[in-house]
A and B are shown apart, each in its own frame.
Chain A
Amino acid sequence: MTAEDMTMIPHTTLDASAADLRAMADKLAALADQMRPLPPEPEPAPEPPLTAFGVRFGYGPAAATVPEAIADVQAIAALPPLVTQAEAQQFHVDYNANAGSDTRLWRERARDYRRAEVRGRISRGLTGLGVGNRLHSFWADHFTTLPKNYQTYPMQVSMTEEAVRPHIAGRFADMLKAADLHPVMMFFLDQVASAGDNSPFALSRPGTGLNENLGRELIELHTIGVAGPYTQDDVREASNLLAGMIYGAYQGVRYDVKRAEPGVETVLGVEYPDDSIAEIHRMMDDLARRPETARHLATKLAVHFLGDEPLELIDEMAAAYLANDTALVPVYEVLFSHRSWPGAKLRKPLDWMIAGLRALGVTPAEAEALPGSFIDAFILEPLGIMGQPWDGQGGPDGWPEQAEAWLAPNQLAARLDWAMTAPTALFTQLGRMLPDPRLPGLTDNTALWVGRAQSAEAGIAAMLTSPELQRS
């Protein structure tokens, strides 16, 4: 009986009229009529093949146990950073000092850092299971930042390489502190312009004051989520506590007490009396440990990898997160153990390119050696047309998850274009023959039509853009 049916029945029959009783009898008869035997349970879907694990969580077919997948994540987390924050800060200083005399040269140097990051993300995607690289991309997107100028291009690389990646197999609380107080995040979300309204800094400079951008996204996007139980006051108080955190090319990241808002800040019911980095860290730890944060992150992971929101799994992932003080590996263990996958997800452009390069047998070393002109022409430029320009998310909320966002006609045509042209250009570059596109693991339908292609390029393109390669 549904809740609606219940309301049809008077709560008591004591003072019910004869008409009420008749109505109730009719209702009960109707309900009895509905209580036919349930249709038989549908046959459980056949277990996916073991290699489906790699398709779902990596970039292509690969069987893996949960510990093997965790080891892959840990291996990616342990790699040294491509750029350190110190190096990026030095570049910022050097750029400011020198770029005026040769802007083009310095912009090109800045772009080289981006190209190095692209090579790294691709080559790691071609290494091992690819699971760690997928998670790196996921968390980098969770903490989306966009460099606002050329001088901070290397800093943007440091963000994903130093603030995010080392923590993908660690605790979320640590990633949160590193990411939200990273120079690029402070630029992107205007923390560098913020000072408490009643701070000595703001009081002596009319027109300056608090900027809520970072405080808001810390709560709304990075931790408890927009559906969480916070108010505008919490955003304001978090921003007040953050006031004082500052980055400058010459002095680096520091806490400037003259920018701090005096007094006690209260965020989600917790009081933060001190003005210090330690107090800011304490707030971030508290936010990371909240059950809403656990649920928000678990849901995002499930939607990203499974394309669905299986409630039981999310409960289980959130519980693992909370039971392990925001450690992420126990969360992944739950996610990787889940085998009842819903329909396949469309790969986003970069993931699809990496899956394609994997299918073509490109090695990590070959990807590392790609010249900048190739990266520009066959990775960065087409990524933009496919709708995923590098560091070009529309805002701090990152890339959309739904397939419709990636299947506009010109975006699909761009995928076909890449599949037709990039492999030939790439293998010419590598000095190798194009591989046979009739890979094992294709569906019978795809294999049939790939085999009937009238040119090698068309066969490769059909394989690369087949549903098997476009979906995970």
Chain B
Amino acid sequence: MTDIHDCEGGHQQDPVRLISTPGQRRMVVLILRGAMDGLDAVQPYGDPALRTLRSTLSVGPQGGAHDLDGFYALHPKLGALLPLWQAGELAFAHAVSTPYRDKRSHFDGQDILEAGTTSRDRPDLTVKSGWLNRLAATIPGAMEVVPFACSTMTPIIARSESPFLTWTPATDLGLSHDDVTLMQHVYAPDGQLSAALDQAIAADLLIPPVKSGREDASAIATHLGKSGGIAVASIGGWDTHGSQAETLAGKLPEVADFVLTIKAGMAPEAWASTVICVVTEFGRTARQNGTGGTDHGTGSVAMFAGGAVAGGKVYGQWPGLGNLYADRDLLPTSDVRAWLGAVVHAHMGVSRSAVEGVVFPGVTLAGCPV
């Protein structure tokens, strides 16, 4: 670790977090840090305004995008997910956002997405209390699973005063096996420290951090393949102010790969009870800018994949690109937390009142993608 502040704009990749829960329900949240352009990932080519706002981006089926339903088309580089769409295991919710508006800061946006609150300054729900931890606290028997790779920067989504304080990941330990052996020798004369070190080794706390989205996905598949639970991972690098076409051509396959790696790493029964939610902190400007990119916006798209998804459908109310937020952004018509909340309720079995009162306070559950 050279610079732990190196998370500007979403290049940070957080370690995977895991909570095991009783039963067989599985939920994975993939956070796309840096604000993914929802209008490019799932292109509303049926909206005539799209072509006037964008000349080279979001070209629709003419540019190789895969038609989904006659109105929306999937970005060409997400084509690997088409079989899931056809199998009814892939859905989207379009024109979604957190309640965050106007300042369009990555940090605020990500904080609010992870805190699950309406603003980062709510005194009753500080950013320390991530929605994931509040969710875990509502599921009896939920247990922390020691993460296999850790960072001293704890994403807010995993922060909590209690009862998951020990879930706080410890480290970004790039210890080699030689280093670990060295520590065992140094601790040999001290029984108490030796025992603690052995526990840390047994908990996989000391091995080098997982680096790629695929490794994260495969680790998630391994852990969730065995039993029910919740996992959170992230992929950074979505801040496409310039050369968006080239950047997304590299990044979107990572998302498809993440999803397909989880599917491939699980037994079919486990996949059948899995929902992967892919969310981003906000969207990007509806208009293409002068550098082949887009700037910070508001509404974006959320994706749901997994055997438990009621897929083959793009959910959400389309606002029309003739009706932009602040004359620049896709107007959000639903709260992304309402969709996450719907998964938590309908799939993970948490009561509606707990979802609307504790996990995502103040939210009203949206229609259900599962």
* A binding-site residues for B, Cβ under 8 Å: 103, 346, 373, 377, 381-382, 384-385, 403, 407-414, 416-417, 420-421, 425, 443, 445-446, 448-450, 452-455, 458, 461-462, 465-467, 470-471
Residues of B within 8 A of A448 (CB): 185
Chain B window 101-125, contacts with chain A (Cβ cutoff 8 Å), 1 for yes, 0 for no: 0000000000000000000010000
Give the residue of B5, B175, B187 whose beta carbon is less than 8 angstroms from that of A420: B175
Q: A385-B168, A467-B189 are in contact. Are A417 and B173 (CB under 8 A)?
A: yes
The reply to whether B170 and A445 form a contact with Cβ atoms under 8 Å apart is no
Q: A377-B5, A410-B168 are in contact. Are A449 and B179 (CB under 8 A)?
A: no
Residues of A within 8 A of B150 (CB): 410, 413, 417
Q: Is the CB of B171 closer than 8 A to any CB of chain A?
A: yes
The reply to whether B185 and A449 form a contact with Cβ atoms under 8 Å apart is yes
Taking chain B's interface residues, is the majority helix, strand, or loop, or is none over half, making it mixed?
loop
Chain B window 320-352, contacts with chain A (Cβ cutoff 8 Å), 1 for yes, 0 for no: 000000000000000000000000000000000
**A463 (CB) vs chain B CBs: closest residue:** B186
The reply to whether B192 and A416 form a contact with Cβ atoms under 8 Å apart is no
The reply to whether A382 and B186 form a contact with Cβ atoms under 8 Å apart is no
8 further A-B pairs in the complex, CB-CB below 8 A; given A410-B203, A454-B182: A408-B166, A412-B196, A412-B200, A416-B183, A417-B150, A445-B186, A449-B186, A455-B179
The reply to whether B186 and A421 form a contact with Cβ atoms under 8 Å apart is no
Residues of A within 8 A of B172 (CB): 417, 421
Q: Is the CB of B264 closer than 8 A to any CB of chain A?
A: no
Chain B window 140-168, contacts with chain A (Cβ cutoff 8 Å), 1 for yes, 0 for no: 00000010001011100000000000101
Please report the C-alpha to C-alpha distance between residue A421 and residue B186 in the assembled complex, in whole angstroms. Answer: 19
The reply to whether A409 and B146 form a contact with Cβ atoms under 8 Å apart is yes
Q: A385-B152, A409-B196, A443-B189 are in contact. Are A416 and B171 (CB under 8 A)?
A: yes
Smallest distance from the beta carbon of B15 to chain A beta carbons, Å? 12
Q: Is the CB of B197 closer than 8 A to any CB of chain A?
A: yes
The reply to whether A407 and B192 form a contact with Cβ atoms under 8 Å apart is yes
Residues of A within 8 A of B173 (CB): 413, 416-417, 420
Taking chain A's interface residues, is the majority helix, strand, or loop, or is none over half, making it mixed?
helix
Give the residue of A373, A377, A384, A445 whose beta carbon is less than 8 angstroms from that of B185: A445
Give the residue of B1, B121, B205 whose beta carbon is less than 8 angstroms from that of A103: B121
**B residues 184-198 in Cβ contact with A at 8 Å:** 185-190, 192-193, 196-197
Q: Is the CB of B199 closer than 8 A to any CB of chain A?
A: yes
Please report the C-alpha to C-alpha distance between residue A458 and residue B173 in the assembled complex, in whole angstroms. Answer: 11
**A448 (CB) vs chain B CBs: closest residue:** B185
**B176 (CB) vs chain A CBs: closest residue:** A454
Q: Is the CB of B206 closer than 8 A to any CB of chain A?
A: yes
Please report the C-alpha to C-alpha distance between residue A377 and residue B187 in the assembled complex, in whole angstroms. Answer: 27
Residues of A within 8 A of B169 (CB): 385, 410
Residues of A within 8 A of B182 (CB): 449, 452-454, 458, 462
Of all A-B residue pairs in the complex, the 3 with the closest CB atoms, nearest first, are: A417-B171, A410-B170, A413-B170
**B residues 39-72 in Cβ contact with A at 8 Å:** none
Q: Is the CB of B174 closer than 8 A to any CB of chain A?
A: yes
What would be 18 A-B contacts, judged by CB atoms less than 8 Å apart?
Answer: A346-B192, A377-B4, A381-B154, A407-B193, A408-B166, A409-B170, A409-B203, A410-B168, A416-B173, A416-B175, A417-B171, A421-B1, A421-B172, A443-B189, A445-B188, A449-B185, A458-B175, A465-B183
Residues of A within 8 A of B186 (CB): 445-446, 449-450, 462, 465-467
Give the residue of A103, A414, A416, A467 whose beta carbon is less than 8 angstroms from that of B190: A467
Q: A377-B152, A453-B182 are in contact. Are A417 and B189 (CB under 8 A)?
A: no
Please report the C-alpha to C-alpha distance between residue A176 and residue B186 in the assembled complex, in whole angstroms. Answer: 43
Residues of B within 8 A of A466 (CB): 186-187
Smallest distance from the beta carbon of B14 to chain A beta carbons, Å? 14
Smallest distance from the beta carbon of A387 to chain B beta carbons, Å? 9
Please report the C-alpha to C-alpha distance between residue A417 and residue B149 in the assembled complex, in whole angstroms. Answer: 12
Give the residue of A384, A385, A454 whose beta carbon is less than 8 angstroms from that of B178: A454
Residues of B within 8 A of A385 (CB): 152, 154, 168-171
- B interface, how many residues as a size bin? 35 or more
**B203 (CB) vs chain A CBs: closest residue:** A409
* B binding-site residues for A, Cβ under 8 Å: 1-2, 4-5, 121, 146, 150, 152-154, 166, 168-176, 178-179, 182-183, 185-190, 192-193, 196-197, 199-200, 202-203, 205-206
Residues of B within 8 A of A346 (CB): 192
Please report the C-alpha to C-alpha distance between residue A384 and residue B166 in the assembled complex, in whole angstroms. Answer: 10
Give the residue of A373, A377, A410 whose beta carbon is less than 8 angstroms from that of B146: A410
The reply to whether B152 and A467 form a contact with Cβ atoms under 8 Å apart is no
**B193 (CB) vs chain A CBs: closest residue:** A467
Q: A409-B146, A409-B196, A467-B189 are in contact. Are A416 and B206 (CB under 8 A)?
A: yes
Smallest distance from the beta carbon of A383 to chain B beta carbons, Å? 11
Central interface residue in A413, A450, A471, by most chain B CB within 10 Å? A413
Residues of A within 8 A of B202 (CB): 409
The reply to whether A467 and B200 form a contact with Cβ atoms under 8 Å apart is no
Please report the C-alpha to C-alpha distance between residue A384 and residue B5 in the assembled complex, in whole angstroms. Answer: 17
Please report the C-alpha to C-alpha distance between residue A470 and residue B176 in the assembled complex, in whole angstroms. Answer: 22
Residues of A within 8 A of B154 (CB): 381, 385
Q: A373-B5, A421-B1 are in contact. Are A413 and B200 (CB under 8 A)?
A: yes
Please report the C-alpha to C-alpha distance between residue A411 and residue B175 in the assembled complex, in whole angstroms. Answer: 16
Central interface residue in B152, B153, B169, B175, by most chain A CB within 10 Å? B152
Give the residue of A381, A382, A445, A458 whose beta carbon is less than 8 angstroms from that of B179: A458
Residues of A within 8 A of B2 (CB): 425
Central interface residue in A417, A449, A454, by most chain B CB within 10 Å? A417
Q: A407-B196, A458-B179 are in contact. Are A382 and B152 (CB under 8 A)?
A: yes
Residues of A within 8 A of B176 (CB): 454, 458
Smallest distance from the beta carbon of B357 to chain A beta carbons, Å? 24
Smallest distance from the beta carbon of A68 to chain B beta carbons, Å? 30
Residues of A within 8 A of B5 (CB): 373, 377
**A412 (CB) vs chain B CBs: closest residue:** B196
**B201 (CB) vs chain A CBs: closest residue:** A409
Please report the C-alpha to C-alpha distance between residue A449 and residue B182 in the assembled complex, in whole angstroms. Answer: 6
Central interface residue in B1, B192, B196, by most chain A CB within 10 Å? B196
Residues of B within 8 A of A414 (CB): 152, 170-171
Smallest distance from the beta carbon of B239 to chain A beta carbons, Å? 22
**B199 (CB) vs chain A CBs: closest residue:** A409
Give the residue of B185, B188, B200 whose beta carbon is less than 8 angstroms from that of A409: B200
Residues of B within 8 A of A471 (CB): 190
Residues of A within 8 A of B185 (CB): 445, 448-449
Please report the C-alpha to C-alpha distance between residue A407 and residue B205 in the assembled complex, in whole angstroms. Answer: 13
Q: A452-B182, A467-B187 are in contact. Are A384 and B171 (CB under 8 A)?
A: no
